[in-house]
Amino acid sequence: MLGPDFENIVRLLSRMPGIGSRSARRIVLHMLDNKDNMMLPLAESLQKAAIDIQNCQDCHTLDTSSPCHICAAMTRDRSLLCIVENVADLWALERTGSYKGLYHVLGGTLSALDGVSPDDLHIPHLITRLDELQTQELIIALNATVEGQTTAHYITDCVKGRDIKITRLARGVPIGSALDYLDDNTLVTALDSRSAM
Amino acid sequence: MLGPDFENIVRLLSRMPGIGSRSARRIVLHMLDNKDNMMLPLAESLQKAAIDIQNCQDCHTLDTSSPCHICAAMTRDRSLLCIVENVADLWALERTGSYKGLYHVLGGTLSALDGVSPDDLHIPHLITRLDELQTQELIIALNATVEGQTTAHYITDCVKGRDIKITRLARGVPIGSALDYLDDNTLVTALDSRSAM
């Protein structure tokens, strides 16, 4: 018998994105074969990271300090605020290295089906920040999905009346992609928003 | 910044079977969103399991006790010994509930390419066990791959001369499978080993 801890690890791992119960078992077996250089260091790092990593009080991203290193950086353009759905999206934008403003992580998108209301997201805090920071441009970088766009429209309505320029990411053909493989909606959007060469 | 522990978790997770660095990041984010009911319990269980779960001194499977619950069970048929490559294969056989003998986990298969020699596996110990247990039938349940069969032949040679019946799992058409999708080797084997109805 492998005991309750083994079953607990399998149960917890199989609740992670992309891992089923069969691969969870394979992973635990792999770890048990490498206890000293995999299983125990992982346990230790998980414990430390759970304590050290917190949500930033300002933008709600994850960081070892609050305010996070982006909010605290004096070199960032504080007149720009970019709204993202989650931390992974913030990282994707940061990886490009071409955005130098601040962020605001919503923590999800509005969804009547899943019962996510504006108060469940960080939308009230967003409004407060916009006033405090005297933001000049608000970039909405939400997913081009129904939920993302519903949320984008809701936020636009909330911000309306303030002297803030609201923009969103451009829609069109992804770089490197073949037209043949694109969905019709993307192609129609790209055609409508065509630009002069 | 997320600190060295975050990077350490991502690095360790992405070395697990079936997890890449991108999914490792997604998993850690998911855990950071569920620290109290996911991340910390996982850390604790990993630590406990790493201490509690050991290899059985007899059959080399993983268990909280050594000898394991299979080797220690008085109800199992001690005249039967089944050789498997790894613990996952042992579990697969146990799940069927139709085998009541003992096991011997080799811990891999012979491979000249990867430099795995008989001494790296538990083959010398297998021979000792066969004599101690006075095994009457040795079932070779290794994968039907080149490495598995090389290992099977090597073991057969080692055991030769003893009064032990050596068997292997049957080859043929898997239950529920369509002939059209089977590879040629399986079909040829199934045809050669056809049985009377």
Q: Output the six-digit token pair for B85.
A: 């490559």
Nearest CA in chain B to A89: B26
CATH top-level class for A62-168? alpha beta
The pLDDT value recorded for residue A133 is 93
Is pLDDT at B3 greater than 90 in this prediction? no
The answer to whether the CB atoms of A46 and B25 lie below 8 A apart is: no
* Residues in chain B within 8 Å Cβ distance of A29: 62, 86-88
Predicted ipTM of the assembly? 0.81
pLDDT digits (tens, 9 = 90+) for B128-168: 999 999 999 999 999 988 899 999 999 999 998 899 999 99
Question: How close B197 gets to chain A, by Cα (Å)?
Answer: 36
pLDDT digits (tens, 9 = 90+) for A120-133: 899 999 999 999 99
* Residues in chain B within 8 Å Cβ distance of A122: none
The pLDDT value recorded for residue A119 is 87
- What integer is the mean pLDDT of B112-128? 90
Its pTM stands at: 0.80
pLDDT digits (tens, 9 = 90+) for A28-48: 999 999 999 999 999 999 999
The pLDDT value recorded for residue A121 is 92
Q: Give average pLDDT by consecutive 10-residue segment, chain A, 197 residues.
A: 90 94 92 93 95 94 93 94 93 90 94 88 93 94 91 93 91 86 86 83
pLDDT digits (tens, 9 = 90+) for B31-85: 999 999 999 999 999 999 999 999 999 999 999 998 999 999 999 999 999 999 9
Residue B138: exposed, middle, or buried by beta-carbon count in 10 A (0-12, 13-18, 19+)?
A: buried
Domain spans, chain A:
3-52, 62-168
The answer to whether the CB atoms of A41 and B12 lie below 8 A apart is: yes
The pLDDT value recorded for residue B185 is 86
What superfamily in CATH does domain A3-52 come from? RecR Domain 1 (1.10.8.420)
The pLDDT value recorded for residue B89 is 92
The pLDDT value recorded for residue B192 is 85
The pLDDT value recorded for residue A112 is 85
The pLDDT value recorded for residue A180 is 85
Instruction: Specify whether the backbone of A171 is left (phi greater than 0), alpha (psi in -120 to 50) or beta.
Output: beta
The pLDDT value recorded for residue A178 is 84
Is pLDDT at B175 greater than 90 in this prediction? no
Tell me, what amino acid is at A28? V
* Residues in chain A within 8 Å Cβ distance of B10: none
Q: What phi and psi values does residue B85 have, to the nearest 5 degrees?
A: -75, -45
Instruction: Provide DSSP, A16-82.
Output: STT--HHHHHHHHHHHHHTIIIIIHHHHHHHHHHHHH-EE-TTT--EESSSS-HHHH-TTSEEEEEE
The pLDDT value recorded for residue B101 is 94
Site of tokens 């000293």: A36
| Cis amide leading into B67 (omega within 30) | yes
Question: How close A191 gets to chain B, by Cα (Å)?
Answer: 32
